Amino acid sequence: MPKKTLPRIVAVAADIEPFILRLRWDKAGETLVDVSGLVATFRVYEPLRHSQDLFAQVRLGEHGADVVWSDAIAMSADTLWRLGKEQSAATTTRGLERG
């Protein structure tokens, strides 16, 4: 069975909206991902809850496998990819329900 690989992140930036990441993928274009649910839920992200300035300091992790804010705060590309897909599907579904 062929090995399935997820796209890697090639660029990241904090969006103007709180807790939104703008991600560019090596094989899948660009997406906006709302990470507010993760930030609100997990203790490791508590520093981000209290500082938009810290959130804005997001940078690309090693080999595009994650995004990082510090040695202790990171989000994996796998998590962000899946979250972006879920959010994209939800947006598409809502649009179909209205139309």
Domains of the chain: 9-98 (3.30.2020.10)
Amino acid identity, position 12: V
CB 67 within 8 A of CB 58: yes
**Given a cut of 90, is residue 9 above it in pLDDT?**
yes
The strand order across the sheet containing 9-14 reads 9-14, 20-25, 29-34
CB 48 within 8 A of CB 35: no
CB 66 within 8 A of CB 76: yes
Q: What confidence tens digit (pLDDT) does each residue in 17-74 have?
A: 999 999 999 987 899 999 999 999 999 999 999 999 999 999 999 999 999 999 899 9
